[in-house]
Amino acid sequence: MIRSVVERLTRRRFAKRKFQEKIDIWRLFVFAHHFKECDGRRVDVNIPNERTSFARQYHVVHSTVNEQVIKMLQNVKERLTKQPNMTQSWSFTLHTQKSTVQHPDAGEGLFIDGHVVPGTVVTFFPGTVYLPPDVSQITDYSDSDPHKTLSMMSRLDRCIIDANNYDITITTPDGPLNHPFAYGHKVNHPEPGVVPNLIPFSYEATASFPDELLSLIPNKYFRPPGFLYATPSKMRSLVFVAARHLENEELFTDYRLRPDVSHPDWYTSVDEEENRRLWTD
Task: Choose the most confident range, by mean pLDDT, from 2-6, 134-138, 176-180, 212-216.
Answer: 212-216
CA distance 245 to 164: 30
Q: In whole angstroms, how far apart are CA 169 and each of 143, 160, 180, 215?
A: 28, 21, 9, 12
Q: Are 265 and 257 in contact (CB under 8 A)?
A: no
pLDDT, greater one: 144 or 6:
144
Residue 12 belongs to what domain range? 2-278
Cβ proximity of 132 and 221 under 8 Å? no
CA distance readout (Å), 4 to 1, 12, 15: 5, 12, 16
Query: Residue 159: how many CA atoms within 13 Å on its side-chain side?
Result: 27
- The arithmetic mean of pLDDT across residues 77-102, rounded, is 79
CA of 268: how far to CAs of 57, 189, 231, 252, 272, in Å? 30, 9, 35, 13, 9
Cβ count near 268 (within 10 Å): 13
* pLDDT of 177: 87
Q: Identify the pLDDT of residue 197.
A: 98
Of residues 219 and 42, more confidently modeled = 219
Tell me the C-alpha distance between 91 and 88, whole Å: 10
Task: Judge contact between 48 and 29, C-beta under 8 A.
Answer: yes
> Is 118 within 8 Å of 243 (Cβ atoms)?
yes
What pLDDT does residue 249 have?
98
What mean pLDDT is predicted for residues 101-108? Answer: 90
Q: Considering its fold, how many domains does the chain have in total? A: 1
Please state, in angstroms and rounded to a whole number, the distance separating the CA atoms of residues 175 and 101.
34
174 vs 82: CA distance, rounded Å: 10
Q: Find the CATH number of the domain harbouring 132.
A: 2.170.270.10
- H-type alpha helices, the chain: 2-38, 54-81, 211-214, 272-278
Query: pLDDT confidence of 13, banded at 50, 70, 90?
Result: low
Nearest-5° Cα angle at 13, 11 to 18:
85
Average pLDDT over residues 125-132: 95
Nearest alpha-carbon partner for 111 in 221, 224, 18, 188 = 188
Position 106, amino acid? A
- pLDDT for 63-74, tens place per residue? 999 999 999 999
H helix intervals, 82-196: none
What is the average pLDDT score of the chain?
88
Is residue 191 predicted with pLDDT exceeding 50?
yes
The answer to whether the CB of 78 falls within 8 A of the CB of 172 is no
Q: Which of 75, 104, 5, 91 is nearest to 40 (CA)?
A: 91
